Amino acid sequence: MEKTKGNNIGEIILSSASTSQNRLNLARKYRPIRLEDLIGQSHAVKILNEAFKKDRLAPAYLLSGPRGIGKTSTARIIAKAASCLSKDSDKPCEKCAACKAFSGGNLMDVVEMDGASHTGVDDIRRIIEAVAYRPSVGKRNVYIVDEVHMLSNAAFNALLKTLEEPPAHALFIFATTEIEKLPSTVLSRVQRLELRRLHEAEILESLTSICEKEKIEAAVHSLEQIASAADGSLRDAQTLLEQMLLMSGGKKLDDKILDAFLGTIGADKEVEFLELMARREANKLIEKIGEFHDRGKDLLRLQARLLNWIRQLLIFRSCGSLDVLSEKSPEEYIQKLVTAFAAWSLEDIDRLLELSQDAYARIRQHDFPRFVMETSALRATRIPHTEDISRLIQMIERETPDQKLQPSVEAAPVKPKERARPEVKMERPIAPKEVRPTRKINSTDDFLEELAASRPSLSALVKCAEKTELHFDKVVLTFPHGHFAFKQLGDKLMIRELEKAFSTILSRPVQVVLEENSENASKPQAQPRRKDFIKEAREKAVTDPNVQRAAEILGGKISSVTIEGIKT
C-alpha cells in the first residue's frame, strides 16, 4: 500500500512567499517561467518539449553548465510542467490547482534543496523516505537538488538505488556547475542536458528588451559593455544593469559611471583600436593605450577582447563567414575589421594573433601591463606584409650573378681620402667560371654529352644505364639488374639532384624514373666492376683543368674524391 505524504520535510521545502513584482530585482523579475522563455538553450528546449508531448520524461535529469545561464530556472520549469494536472497540453495550463500552487510558491509536491548546505547522507535519506509517498496535489513528486556536486560520497551512494528504480510518480532534477565532480555511477543513471554559455548578441537582445519594458534610457554601446562583462551569464548581465542604474540614480544609464565601474572600453572602441593597428599608426596606438591606462581600464581584459576580435577576423578570412562559430560578435564590427585588414594576408593576421596571444600571457605575469601592451602594439605595426617579402624574393631570384641591385636614387660620387698605399703582393687571380652557352638537345647523345660537361660525377653514374629515354616531362633510365649505380641513384636526394640537373639541361621541368631490367636477372652480366668505375671517375676528376687550377692556387693536393656519396 502506498502512503499518504505528510509535512515532515519542511526544512528543505521551497518556500517562496508571494512578492510584489515591483519589489523584485531584474534577475528575478525577468526569470523564465516557460520553456519558450529560455534564451540560447534551443537544444534542451527541443528535447524537453518532445518528452512532454510524448509523455516520456526521464526519471532523473542533470542540468550542467556555467553560472547564470538558467539551470535552476529550467529545473523549476520542468517541475511545474511535470506537476500540471492537465492531460491535453504539453505545457502548464496555469489553471489547475498544481499550477496555481506552484506559481504561489506553496506546492508541497516540489522540494528544492541546496546541495551546498545539505551535503550529508541524512538529508538524502529524508528525500528517499518521502519518495514512497504519492503527491498530494500535483501529478508527480519533484526533487530539485542545486549544486549537486557538493554532496558527499555517502550521500551519492545512498541515492543510487532510488535513482536506478524510482517510483513512477517521482522526478529528480539535479543542477551543477562542476559536472566532472559527479561520480560516474550517478551520471549513468540520469539524462544529461548541457546548457551552454550565452552569446553576447543574445545577452544584448535580452538587455535591450528589459530596458524597453522598464523604460530605461541606455545607449547600445553601454549595453554592449555590460553584455561583454557578463562573460556569457545572463543573470550577471541583469545584475550589472541594475547596479549601474542604482549608481546612475535614475532611469538613465550614465556612460561615465559604467566606464569607471566595469573597466572596459566597449566593442566600438576596441574595433577602432584594431583599425589603428591595421593602418600601422604607432603614435595613436601609444596614445590610446596611455589613455586606457590613465582611465583605470583593465588592460588584461582589453587584451583578451582584442585577441578574440583578431581570432574571429582570422576565422572569417579563412572560412568566408563566422557560421562555424557557436559564439560570434555583431556582424557590423566584423565587417569593419575585414575592411581595415583587407591589405593584410592570412599569414600576417596569423602572426598578429600569435603576437596578441604572447602579449596576453605576458600581461598576466607582468607588473607593468602597460609596457607589455605598448611593445606588443608597436611590434604589430612592424609586421611586414607577406606579399612584400614574396616580391623581394622573386626579385632576388631573377638577379643573375653579373647583375647588381641598383639603388632608386643614384648617390653622388664621394672623393676618397688619399692615403698611403701599402705594397700588395700580386697573386695569380682565380679564373672566372666559364658560362656555358645553352645548347639545343636533339637526341639522347646530345643530352648525355651536355650532362658530362655540366655534371661529370652524375654523368658517370647515368652512363651505367642500359637505356636512356627522353620524354617531354620525364627521363627514364634503365639499369641492369643489381647494378650498384641503380642503388646509388635510387636515393631521394640523388633523385632530386638528377631532376634538377636534367631540368636545367632540357630547359623544362622533368621527372626522373629509374627502372631495373629484370629480364637478365638470372643471367650473369658483364658489368663494370665497382673499383674500375671509381678509378675512372677519380681520374676524370683529378685531370679536370678547373680542379688542377684550384689546387695550384690553394697550394694543396687532392687527397680523396667523393662521387655522389661514394667516398674513396
Provide the residue ranges of all domains of the chain, joining segments of one domain with +: 3-194, 200-262, 267-381, 444-554
- What pLDDT band is residue 524 in, cutting at 50, 70 and 90? very low
Q: In what order do the strands lie in the sheet with 474-480?
A: 467-470, 474-480, 511-517
Averaged pLDDT score across all residues of the chain: 81
CB atoms within 10 A of CB 546: 10
As a CATH number, domain 267-381 is: 1.20.272.10
> Which residues, in sequence order, are bridge partners of residue 333?
none
Looking at residue 249, the DSSP 8-state letter turns out to be T
CATH superfamily to which 3-194 belongs: P-loop containing nucleotide triphosphate hydrolases (3.40.50.300)
Least confident of 191-200, 341-350, 549-558: 549-558
**pLDDT for position 393:** 54
Q: For residue 194, list its beta bridge partners.
A: 64
Residue 364 clears pLDDT 60, i.e. is over it: yes
Is it true that 3-194 and 267-381 share their CATH fold?
A: no
99, pLDDT greater than 50? yes
Q: Which pLDDT tens digit goes with each residue over 407-416?
A: 444 445 555 5
Name the percent of the chain in helix, strand, coil, to the closest 5: 50, 10, 40
Q: How many helices (H) and strands (E) does the chain have?
A: 24, 12
Lowest mean pLDDT segment, chosen from 75-84, 193-202, 392-401: 392-401
pLDDT at res. 537: 66
Cell 510558491, located at residue: 105
Burial class of residue 391, CB neighbours in 10 A (0-12, 13-18, 19+) = exposed
Buried b (16+ CB within 10 A) or exposed e, 419-440: eeeeeeeeeeeeeeeeeeeeee
Per-residue pLDDT tens digits for 20-44 = 455 678 999 999 989 999 998 999 9
Confidence grade of residue 192 (pLDDT, cut at 50, 70, 90)? very high
Of 299-308, 420-429, 516-525, the poorest mean pLDDT is in 420-429
**How many whole angstroms separate alpha carbon 159 and alpha carbon 62?**
14
**154-176 average pLDDT score:** 93
159-163, 223-227, 401-405, 482-486 — which one is most confidently predicted on average? 159-163
* Average pLDDT rounded to a whole number, residues 200-229: 89
pLDDT at 278 over 90: yes
Asked if CATH classification 3.30.300.180 holds for the domain at 444-554, the reply, yes or no, is yes
User: Across residues 539-558, what is the average pLDDT?
Assistant: 72
pLDDT for 143 equals: 95
The residues that bridge with 287 in the sheet, in sequence order, are: none
Cell of 180: 566532472
Identify which has the larger pLDDT, 494 or 189. Answer: 189
What is the CA angle 146-30-71, rounded to 5? 25
182-186, 334-338, 422-426, 443-447: range with highest mean pLDDT: 182-186
Q: How confident is the model at residue 443 (pLDDT cuts 50, 70, 90)?
A: confident
CATH topology of domain 200-262: Helicase, Ruva Protein; domain 3 (1.10.8)
Mean pLDDT of 114-126: 90
List the Cα angle 100/102/107 in 5-degree steps: 110
What is d(CA 95, CA 64) in angstroms, rounded to the nearest whole number? 31
Q: How many CB atoms lie within 10 A of CB 460?
A: 20
From the list 333, 329, 220, 337, the residue with the least C-alpha distance to 276 is 337
Of 39, 67, 35, 40, nearest to 52 (Cα)?
Answer: 35
- Per-residue pLDDT, averaged over 523-547, amounts to 61
At 427 the pLDDT is: 46
pLDDT at 78 > cutoff 90: yes
- Model-level pTM? 0.57
The per-residue pLDDT for range 464-496, each reduced to its tens digit, is 888 888 887 889 999 888 777 787 788 777 888
Cell numbers at 447, concatenated? 643530352
| pLDDT value of position 176 | 96
Listed as own residue / partner, the contacts of 483-488 with beta carbons closer than 8 Å and 24 or more positions apart are 483/516, 483/527, 484/530, 485/461, 485/533, 486/514, 486/516, 488/461, 488/564, 488/565, 488/566
Q: Tell me the pLDDT band of 16, cut-offs 50, 70 and 90.
A: very low
